[in-house]
Amino acid sequence: MTKRLLRLAFFLLLAACGTLALRAQNDTSALHPPKGAKVAIVIFEDLQCPDCARAEPLIEEASKAYGIPIVRYDFPLPMHNWSMDATIMAHYFGSKSEKLGVDFRSYIFQNQPLITPQNLRSYAEKFAKEHNTDLPFVLDPQGKFAAEIRASKDLGNRMGLQHTPTLWVVSSATKGRPFVEVVDRRELFNLIDDMRRQN
């Protein structure tokens, strides 16, 4: 009798964990435009991901063409050996100004094939010098930037992210679809048009 009850309790626990995991993967809390925007692009990216580098010019072009914001989340992948360090640098530059942080991300994407763990710092120093910005030896002494990146990665995990870049077009509209994942980037402009029609 006791073994049967233990087995039943074990299976109930497994079922509860499975339900919680399924709910966690349905977390859509990030899929909305920032305050004041009707439509936006939301992206989870990894600065060492070659496909993220290929996607970046198109996403920037769409943002400028439609005048819509890009909401960026970090999702550094464990197999990439300098991505986390580059992302901390991006947060450091972003703490100086949002534009500087975005410019640094673009700079890293443009130079990505040449970057290694050994020369990443020299690329960051060159960027800092060209933008008249200091680059201290220790960029994240309190671990604040690393914590922000971990929170972003945890959010992506709760959403069930499988790859980078993962991007959506999102809307503040209360009718229709509030967000749609961009599976084929050739459809990005059409999806933005569709979302704008909902508002």
- At 94-125, the pLDDT tens digits run 999 999 999 999 999 999 999 999 999 999 99
- Residue 138 neighbours by CB under 8 Å, 6+ apart: none
pLDDT score for 177: 87
CA distance 37 to 29: 16
pTM attached to this predicted model? 0.84
Mean pLDDT of 140-160: 97
pLDDT score of 25:
52
Structural domains of the chain in order of their starting residue, each with its CATH number: 39-198 (3.40.30.10)
Q: What does the mean pLDDT of the chain come to? A: 89
Find how far residue 139's CA is from the centre of its chain. Answer: 21
- Whether the CB-CB separation of 65 and 43 falls below 8 Å is answered with no
Is the bond into 33 cis (omega within 30 degrees of 0)? no
pLDDT for 12 equals: 39
| Residue 2 pLDDT greater than 70, yes or no | no
